Amino acid sequence: MSVYSPRLARLIDALRRLPGVGPKSAQRMAFQLLDRERGAARTLAQALTDALEHIGRCPSCRMFCEGGDCRYCTPARTASGHLCVVEGPADLMAIEAGTPYRGRYFVLMGRLSPLDGIGPDELGLDQLQAQLATGDVRELIIATNPTVEGEATAHCLAEIARAQNVAVSRIAHGVPVGGELEYVDGGTLAHALSGRRQV
Amino acid sequence: MSVYSPRLARLIDALRRLPGVGPKSAQRMAFQLLDRERGAARTLAQALTDALEHIGRCPSCRMFCEGGDCRYCTPARTASGHLCVVEGPADLMAIEAGTPYRGRYFVLMGRLSPLDGIGPDELGLDQLQAQLATGDVRELIIATNPTVEGEATAHCLAEIARAQNVAVSRIAHGVPVGGELEYVDGGTLAHALSGRRQV
């Protein structure tokens, strides 16, 4: 006999599938939802069903989008001539929230990782190539993460852009603003030094 | 304009209501569910709806229960003559999972806390009193947490049991098994010393 009754066990299992939620947290969530937060539980169930039904992918930038209109593929953004390539939706959100950049995006939904079976096809690189070929994009800004896979992806993206004669840039890597040199790791410091700019 | 589209914002808000989930985790959960885990999202929505519909409270022990039969109020458990009072469902689960105790329970769903407006009525103490009055219970085991409110609740429970001439006991507090005296706090150590037993 399981410790939980069947429906409770199913709820706890479903909550455990959320990222960062282990057995204890899932149990705590289930008990709190059933005890004091039944309204919140109902809202969550509805929000999930609703999101699954109505949130899809923008065919152009591959970001999540509701209905037909993508809020990141507006004519104003297209007119800027900038296309920023990021690995995931969270990266796009971070750039939108923290920077004045208001150009278009291309969300890879991953990064090149042959061992995990993620190649150019999974990242939609042919689709990106087609967008660069239209001539709407003046500059491709590569904002993949500075990891081994992210750098490999950046290299591949740069080659695609160069083949289409589109200017290509990579966001700067260096000492974080507010950080202290003393506590910055060697790799970041080396990047900061080699990427120095005349003032 | 919000950073998120309306349905995405609603999903992230709903996820934030879960205990221990902040804005960043909620965003991560939403993106993961929409990107790679659509099946898990559907399962979660169904499990929530299903649990809300079918999981209620046992009228006798106040634990969550499905359908009419409470798995913690069986005749075999009643026959043991033990009734263990705990603050919440997680405490009951911990005792079930970690100890051989197989008597009945009474789940307070809280603890006496006048400042938060939680008094004897909210904890169902009159209901407990009625159960003790039937004469089925030989011993009331108090397993509330060793906090100020938990101790106050324990005191109140003990008085109720004594008024009904039911034997009453409190679970032992002392040095955790596997713990080292050196690292145990003073309060626990004082409890352990005053609660010493002849060997």
N- to C-terminal Cα distance for chain A?
A: 71
- Among A128, A83, A74, A118, smallest CA distance to A104 is for A83
State which residue of chain B sits closest to A109, comparing Cα positions.
B35
B26's CB contacts (< 8 A; 6+ apart) are B12, B13, B15, B16, B18
Q: Looking at the partner chain, which of A38, A47, A109 has a beta carbon nearest the beta carbon of B35?
A: A109
**Predicted confidence band of residue A67 (pLDDT cuts 50, 70, 90):** confident
Task: For residue range B12-70, list pLDDT tens digits in order.
Answer: 999 999 999 999 999 999 999 998 888 999 999 999 999 999 999 999 999 999 887 88
For the stretch B7-11, contacts whose Cβ atoms lie closer than 8 Å and that sit 24 or more positions apart, written own/partner, are: B7/A47, B7/A50, B7/A51, B7/A54, B7/A55, B7/A66, B8/A51, B8/A55, B8/A64, B8/A66, B8/B34, B10/A43, B10/A47, B10/A50, B10/A51, B11/A47, B11/A48, B11/A50, B11/A51
Task: Please check whether residue B9 touches A, CB under 8 A.
Answer: no
Q: Is the Cβ pair B30, A51 closer than 8 Å? A: yes
Q: Is the Cβ pair B55, A5 closer than 8 Å? A: yes
State which residue of chain A sits closest to B7, comparing Cα positions.
A51
Tell me, what's the pLDDT at A160? 93
Interatomic CA distance for residues A178 and B156, integer angstroms: 54
Tell me, what's the pLDDT at B188? 85
- Among B19, B32, B13, B7, smallest CA distance to A90 is for B32
Is the ipTM of this structure higher than 0.85? no
**Predicted confidence band of residue B139 (pLDDT cuts 50, 70, 90):** very high
Residue B84 and residue B61 in contact, taking contact as beta carbons nearer than 8 Å: no
In whole numbers, what is the pLDDT of chain A averaged over residues? Answer: 90
Radius of gyration for the alpha carbons in chain B, expressed in angstroms and rounded: 22
How many helices and strands (H and E) does chain B possess? 8, 6
Tell me, what's the pLDDT at A102? 92
Q: Is the Cβ pair A51, B11 closer than 8 Å? A: yes
Residues of B in contact with A52 (CB under 8 A): 34, 38, 41-42, 45
Domains in chain A and their CATH numbers?
6-56 (1.10.8.420), 76-170 (3.40.1360.10)
Q: Has residue A68 got a pLDDT over 80?
A: no
Residues of A in contact with B55 (CB under 8 A): 5, 7-8, 34
Q: How far is B178 from chain A (nearest CA, A)?
A: 21
Mean pLDDT confidence for B100-108:
92
Mean pLDDT confidence for A87-102:
90
Tell me, what's the pLDDT at A25? 93
Q: Has residue B1 got a pLDDT over 60?
A: no
Residue B66, both tokens? 């499905």
Residue type present at position B149: E
Tell me, what's the pLDDT at B194? 84
B178 exposure class (CB count in 10 Å sphere: 0-12, 13-18, 19+) = exposed
Task: For residue range B42-55, list pLDDT tens digits in order.
Answer: 999 999 999 999 99
**Predicted confidence band of residue A1 (pLDDT cuts 50, 70, 90):** low
Backbone phi, psi, residue B168, to 5°: -135, 140
Q: How many CB pairs under 8 A join A and B?
A: 173
Mean pLDDT confidence for B157-164:
93
Tell me, what's the pLDDT at A197? 83
Q: Select from A2, A18, A64 the residue whose CB has the most chain B CBs within 10 Å, as the one to mutate to test that interface.
A: A18
Interatomic CA distance for residues A77 and A60, integer angstroms: 13
Tell me, what's the pLDDT at B116? 87
Task: Please check whether residue A122 touches B, CB under 8 A.
Answer: no
Mean pLDDT confidence for A143-155:
91
**Predicted confidence band of residue B6 (pLDDT cuts 50, 70, 90):** confident
**Predicted confidence band of residue A40 (pLDDT cuts 50, 70, 90):** very high
State which residue of chain A sits closest to B14, comparing Cα positions.
A44
Q: Has residue B2 got a pLDDT over 80?
A: no
List the beta bridge partners of residue B66: B55
Q: What angle do CA A189, A193, A196 make, to 5 degrees?
A: 135
Task: Please check whether residue B7 touches A, CB under 8 A.
Answer: yes
Mean pLDDT confidence for B85-94:
92
